[in-house]
Chains A and B, each alone.
Chain A
Amino acid sequence: MARKLPATDVVIIGLGWTGSILANELADAGLNVVAIERGPWRDTSSDFPVTYAQDELRYHIRHDLFLRPAQETMTFRHNVNQHALPIRTWGSFMPPNGVGGAGVHWNAETWRFLPSDFVLRTHLTQRYGAKFLPQDMTIQDWGITYQELEPYYDKFEYLCGTSGQAGNLQGKKQDGGNPFEGPRSRPYPTPPQKQPYGPMLFAEAAQQLGYHPFPQPSGNLSQAYVNPWGVTLGPCTYCGYCEWFGCGNYSKASPQTTVLPVLMRKPNFKALTESTVLRINLDSSGKRATGVTFVNTSGEEFEQPADLVLLCAFQLFNVHMLLVSGIGTPYDPGTGKGQVGRNYSYQVTSSVPAFWDDKNFNPFVASGAVGMTIDEFNGDNFDHSNLGFVGGGYIGAVMTNGRPILSTTRLPKGTPEWGAEWKQAVAKNYLTSYEPVTHGSCYSYDNCFLDLDPTYTDAYGRKLLRITFDFHENELKMSQYLTDRLGDIVQKMGPRTLEKKPPTGPYDVSKYQTTHTCGGAIMGTSPNNSVVNRYCQSWDVPNLFVTGATVFPQNAGYNPTGTVGALAFWTAHALRSQYLKNPGPLVQA
């Protein structure tokens, strides 16, 4: 029997990027806010101080910051004909845990999506005709536009202090920036990071081929910065321990370095950590959330009543929470009916490692997001008429790290995997090799979805989330094309040898690619094509809002966090300016 706690105005499930931004916005609006976080409290100097944060074995190899699969995991299968099995060691993506969420361990690549990404189906249909898209592709328009989201992208970037070079200021193209980006209202808050040698060499080669290289927007800051909420970040030291790690230098934008210092001072905000929300409770009508039930580490259950419930966990867990709470209709791939779990998607990445004799890349001078990129082959920035696929991605020379363990695995094909010859090859290639990447979109399909597993349950007796997903031909062709274009650039950089590594099916859930899972509770224009409306409000339960990449109808060719952060501010604005004045559906179904 759950102990009932005093009611609060707002309960937030998950205290990562979106949870902390919304908590701060709603606490500023005078509401009492309680955030419930499954993982522990995390603070820069106590939990990932500079004295030991740079520990590749502990954090990368042994996954110290991440959720333990024994606590919660999901099952996986490639298609509906297979029996899904539980993921017992994280591989393809890294589910976060703890205060700060994935904002603690991200690389801090802080992109905006293209204007056409938000109206994808309309755009592609208009340009190429309705028959151009594969039959089973279920992409759709978001229901909001880039223009509407722009002020909130701006807010998130100024919260983070993002370092970058504008390419389009209010419609005016800017030298040195991304010529394809949507218009931005003002420049980045801080200038781009300094570029290491590899990205500079890449940019030179790309320019010679007629492309427009620009610095990747980075949440690892080029200089100290005080954000609009008064929180100070230090400059990045290029230590190269970003993704998989917390930043000990206060220089990577994260909830810890941008929001929590102000949020935690607010008397009307409370964070409950190491407390797992088991379900969202509904009243007898099923149309109104009454709060949540959670369990602490002692196994004691509590009910936290609230007027407003914000589902701000990681993408996969948001969908799981909806399903185990019986909110909305689960998607049925057989009939195409139901929305919860539909349009689960991912991203498709590739790389071209190359080897030189006469270059020194000093790979340890690195940051998770420093690099030079081109956007000629992202989204629909290029003509797909004769290519046989849609979608694209950025191509970039990102200098994320030269860490001592996994760096030793970048060796020319044919190198032995151990022994004297391996050692010699590591010594020879550590400084002289480099591996630019492509970061491609992944569109959604009627047979890629999330539902509850019929067989396996979690530590609390709930059915596990089941992932049904595989790459489709469209994505593999797209990534092959991007890899070839990257190959052209790398060739121009003049290596002794290069190796193109395009993805090949099937999707391998055991091999790390990216943590950019998305969809499953997507945004749309009607309850017949989505779980939430354009304000991230549940169609079924109007006092429930869902945040994060969960609401992406399909994935674009960019890292998602910029858009996730922008949507959090967008939702906060809708709550403050509309919902609180008149609680109820913000869009009539």
Chain B
Amino acid sequence: MNSRLLRRAVLAAVTFGLGTAFAVAQTRPINHQNFELIARGRYLTVLGDCAACHNSPDGTPFAGGNPVPTPFGTMRGANITPDKDTGIGNWSNEQFYHALHDGVGDVRLYPAMPYTYYTKMTRQDVMAIRAYLNTVKPVRHDVTSDTLPFPFDIRAPATTVWDWLFFSPGTFKPDPHKSAAWNRGAYIVQGPGHCGACHSPKTMLGGDQSGKQLRGADLQGWVAPDITNAKRIGLDAWTVQDIAEYLKTGANRFTDASGPMADEIRHSSSHWTEADLKAVATYLKDQPGGDHQAPKPLAASDPRMQAGKAIYEDQCSACHTMDGGGIQRMFPQLKGSPFVQQPDPTSLLQVVVNGTRAVATDERPTGPAMPGFGWKLSNAQIAAVVTYVRNAWSNAAPPVSPGDVGKIRHAGGSGS
């Protein structure tokens, strides 16, 4: 199960391809000759990581059916191959554009399909994607997308109201005061890359909270961390090069990617161009963080800190080293780590309780893994060591209670 799908948007799923409404619609003849357009479209499907939801569970490109768990129920990615009956072969280009730009396909889409981001894409880019999708092998594969429980299964009122509340269609407008790289980065982050789908805080109904873009969000068992330039919990300590290396190779001098981000890197950003990686990094470095006051770190004399230190030295220091410095591109640095100091410790607990495996890429094929300690340490012990790590070596973050650990343990692993 592709864990990035956990939160590919909030309300959920994709319902291209009921297939009936446009069964007789005419499509323009496909120009398979336009190599540049098709190649650009293919790259855009990588930028947008379309395959994450729209491949079939057995990996057939774009044949649909991958389960997409959301807080509102599990949905399934639609078949977007050119198959005329079960895919989008009968859709006109205009219908395709309408779906990505306005969230309206043959019916109004659920926003698990991140059209709230794709709406930023230019018409040319959307048409390039269409041109590429027209060239993939048509696969006859009927996908039932409507699998949400009541009341979300009643599509029209739910999606209409949601769109009214949270969605305003509109193509990305470059900021003339910023560099070309910044604007390209903004376009990717806000548009096809749909970074905010995971990283922006959400309302109860799963819409983006306004004004808080990219400041970290709950991700069903994980926390997508703050990726603004915030100090301590954001990307402040990372250079543009650090961010680009992380997105490309899955590791940099501070940490390795695992959890849902490992899937993103594996399928999407490890295939981006150098220019796009740097552009995204440039844009992220320019995003202001929220008004986070670092909490006062727990005193070393706190009993939780003392117990945590002893456990850390026994269980953790062999890889992460006694001073929390880790081993570059192998064992993440804990000292100063934004991941460790997120206000919400969910991801850190996930990793400690269930373990996790770092992404392996062509550049960094190692894919080191951390074993789970859930079977070995009690909730109180894990709470102590995680509290220690969050407050040692000048780190500062709220302590973690045994009850917090219990919740993660109870939820089971999605880490490794």
A262/B365 in contact, CB under 8 A: yes
Q: From the candidates A51, A261, A265, name the one contacting B373 in the complex (CB within 8 A).
A: A51
A261 contact set on B, CB distance < 8 A: 360, 365-367
The number of chain A residues with a CB under 8 A from chain B is 25
A43 contact set on B, CB distance < 8 A: 369
B373/A232 in contact, CB under 8 A: no
Q: From the candidates B318, B362, B368, B376, name the one contacting A45 in the complex (CB within 8 A).
A: B368
Q: From the candidates B319, B362, B370, B372, name the one contacting A234 in the complex (CB within 8 A).
A: B319
Q: From the candidates A232, A235, A248, name the one contacting B364 in the complex (CB within 8 A).
A: A232
Beyond A45-B416, A50-B319, is A250–B368 a contact (Cβ under 8 Å)? Answer: yes
A229/B368 in contact, CB under 8 A: no
B371/A232 in contact, CB under 8 A: no
Q: From the candidates B328, B329, B360, B376, name the one contacting A51 in the complex (CB within 8 A).
A: B376
Shortest Cβ distance from residue A237 to the other chain B in the assembled complex, whole angstroms: 4
Pick 15 A–B contacts, CB within 8 A, sort by A: A43-B369, A45-B368, A45-B370, A50-B315, A224-B327, A230-B362, A230-B366, A231-B366, A232-B329, A234-B331, A234-B368, A250-B330, A261-B360, A261-B366, A265-B360
A231/B365 in contact, CB under 8 A: yes
Please tell me if B355 contacts chain A, counting CB pairs below 8 Å.
yes
Beyond A46-B369, A250-B368, is A230–B363 a contact (Cβ under 8 Å)? Answer: yes
A239/B368 in contact, CB under 8 A: no
A45/B357 in contact, CB under 8 A: yes
B365/A229 in contact, CB under 8 A: yes
Mark B305-349 against chain A: 1 for CB-CB distance below 8 A, else 0.
000000000010011000000011111000000000000000000
A46 contact set on B, CB distance < 8 A: 369, 371, 416
Mark B353-397 against chain A: 1 for CB-CB distance below 8 A, else 0.
001010010111111111111011000000000000000000000
Beyond A50-B319, A232-B329, is A45–B371 a contact (Cβ under 8 Å)? Answer: yes
Q: Which 3 A-B pairs have the closest CB atoms?
A: A49-B371, A45-B369, A261-B365
A50 contact set on B, CB distance < 8 A: 315, 318-319, 371
A138 contact set on B, CB distance < 8 A: none
B365 contact set on A, CB distance < 8 A: 229-231, 261-262, 265
B362 contact set on A, CB distance < 8 A: 230, 265
Please tell me if A249 contacts chain B, counting CB pairs below 8 Å.
yes
Please tell me if A408 contacts chain B, counting CB pairs below 8 Å.
no
Mark A35-61 against chain B: 1 for CB-CB distance below 8 A, else 0.
000000001111001111000000000
A51/B371 in contact, CB under 8 A: yes
A232 contact set on B, CB distance < 8 A: 329-330, 364, 366, 368
B369/A224 in contact, CB under 8 A: no
B371/A237 in contact, CB under 8 A: no
Shortest Cβ distance from residue A24 to the other chain B in the assembled complex, whole angstroms: 11
Shortest Cβ distance from residue A28 to the other chain B in the assembled complex, whole angstroms: 13
Shortest Cβ distance from residue A105 to the other chain B in the assembled complex, whole angstroms: 19
* Range class of the B interface residue count: 20 to 34
Q: How far is the CA of A44 from the CA of B364 in the complex (A)?
A: 17
A44/B318 in contact, CB under 8 A: no
B360/A239 in contact, CB under 8 A: no
A248 contact set on B, CB distance < 8 A: 371
Q: How far is the CA of A45 from the CA of B373 in the complex (A)?
A: 12
A265 contact set on B, CB distance < 8 A: 360, 362, 365
Shortest Cβ distance from residue A43 to the other chain B in the assembled complex, whole angstroms: 8
Beyond A45-B371, A51-B371, A232-B329, is A239–B318 a contact (Cβ under 8 Å)? Answer: yes
Q: How far is the CA of A52 from the CA of B371 in the complex (A)?
A: 10
16 additional contacts (CB under 8 A) given A230-B363, A234-B327, A265-B362? A45-B357, A45-B370, A45-B371, A49-B355, A50-B319, A51-B372, A51-B376, A229-B365, A230-B362, A230-B364, A231-B365, A232-B329, A232-B366, A234-B319, A234-B331, A261-B367
Shortest Cβ distance from residue B64 to the other chain A in the assembled complex, whole angstroms: 24
Closest Cβ neighbor of B355 among chain A residues: A45
Mark A219-230 against chain B: 1 for CB-CB distance below 8 A, else 0.
000001010011
Closest Cβ neighbor of B356 among chain A residues: A45
Mark B211-244 against chain A: 1 for CB-CB distance below 8 A, else 0.
0000000000000000000000000000000000
Closest Cβ neighbor of A231 among chain B residues: B366
Beyond A224-B330, A232-B368, is A249–B360 a contact (Cβ under 8 Å)? Answer: no
B371 contact set on A, CB distance < 8 A: 45-46, 49-51, 248
Closest Cβ neighbor of A53 among chain B residues: B371
Shortest Cβ distance from residue A103 to the other chain B in the assembled complex, whole angstroms: 16
Shortest Cβ distance from residue A309 to the other chain B in the assembled complex, whole angstroms: 28
A237/B368 in contact, CB under 8 A: no
Shortest Cβ distance from residue B194 to the other chain A in the assembled complex, whole angstroms: 27
Shortest Cβ distance from residue B314 to the other chain A in the assembled complex, whole angstroms: 11
Q: How far is the CA of A233 from the CA of B363 in the complex (A)?
A: 15
B315 contact set on A, CB distance < 8 A: 50-51
A554-569 contacts to B, CB under 8 A, are: none
Q: How far is the CA of A249 from the CA of B318 in the complex (A)?
A: 7
Q: How far is the CA of A50 from the CA of B331 in the complex (A)?
A: 13
A234 contact set on B, CB distance < 8 A: 319, 327, 330-331, 368
Q: How far is the CA of A49 from the CA of B374 in the complex (A)?
A: 13
A452-503 contacts to B, CB under 8 A, are: none
B329 contact set on A, CB distance < 8 A: 226, 232
Shortest Cβ distance from residue B399 to the other chain A in the assembled complex, whole angstroms: 24
Closest Cβ neighbor of A265 among chain B residues: B365
Shortest Cβ distance from residue B249 to the other chain A in the assembled complex, whole angstroms: 10
Shortest Cβ distance from residue A261 to the other chain B in the assembled complex, whole angstroms: 4
B370 contact set on A, CB distance < 8 A: 45
Closest Cβ neighbor of A223 among chain B residues: B327
A233 contact set on B, CB distance < 8 A: 330
Shortest Cβ distance from residue A188 to the other chain B in the assembled complex, whole angstroms: 20
A44 contact set on B, CB distance < 8 A: 368-369
Q: How far is the CA of A250 from the CA of B357 in the complex (A)?
A: 13
Q: How far is the CA of A262 from the CA of B366 in the complex (A)?
A: 8
Q: How far is the CA of A372 from the CA of B71 in the complex (A)?
A: 60
Most chain A C-beta atoms within 10 Å of own C-beta, residue among B315, B362, B368, B370: B368
B369/A235 in contact, CB under 8 A: no
Mark A41-84 against chain B: 1 for CB-CB distance below 8 A, else 0.
00111100111100000000000000000000000000000000
A123-156 contacts to B, CB under 8 A, are: none
Closest Cβ neighbor of B331 among chain A residues: A234
B355/A237 in contact, CB under 8 A: no
Shortest Cβ distance from residue A589 to the other chain B in the assembled complex, whole angstroms: 41
Q: How far is the CA of A114 from the CA of B360 in the complex (A)?
A: 39
A49 contact set on B, CB distance < 8 A: 355, 371
A235/B357 in contact, CB under 8 A: no
B416 contact set on A, CB distance < 8 A: 45-46
Mark A284-303 against chain B: 1 for CB-CB distance below 8 A, else 0.
00000000000000000000
B364 contact set on A, CB distance < 8 A: 230, 232
Q: How far is the CA of A463 from the CA of B355 in the complex (A)?
A: 45
Q: How far is the CA of A250 from the CA of B360 in the complex (A)?
A: 15
Q: How far is the CA of A233 from the CA of B370 in the complex (A)?
A: 14
Q: How far is the CA of A265 from the CA of B375 in the complex (A)?
A: 31
A147-195 contacts to B, CB under 8 A, are: none
Shortest Cβ distance from residue B371 to the other chain A in the assembled complex, whole angstroms: 3
Closest Cβ neighbor of B357 among chain A residues: A45
Shortest Cβ distance from residue B413 to the other chain A in the assembled complex, whole angstroms: 13
Q: How far is the CA of A45 from the CA of B371 in the complex (A)?
A: 5
Q: How far is the CA of A176 from the CA of B133 in the complex (A)?
A: 64
Closest Cβ neighbor of A260 among chain B residues: B365
B366 contact set on A, CB distance < 8 A: 230-232, 250, 261
Most chain A C-beta atoms within 10 Å of own C-beta, residue among B355, B362, B365, B375: B365
Closest Cβ neighbor of A229 among chain B residues: B365
Most chain B C-beta atoms within 10 Å of own C-beta, residue among A230, A248, A265: A230
Q: How far is the CA of A150 from the CA of B319 in the complex (A)?
A: 34
B327/A235 in contact, CB under 8 A: yes
Shortest Cβ distance from residue B370 to the other chain A in the assembled complex, whole angstroms: 7
B367/A249 in contact, CB under 8 A: no
Shortest Cβ distance from residue A305 to the other chain B in the assembled complex, whole angstroms: 27
Q: How far is the CA of A151 from the CA of B360 in the complex (A)?
A: 29
Q: How far is the CA of A250 from the CA of B329 in the complex (A)?
A: 13
Q: How far is the CA of A51 from the CA of B329 in the complex (A)?
A: 21
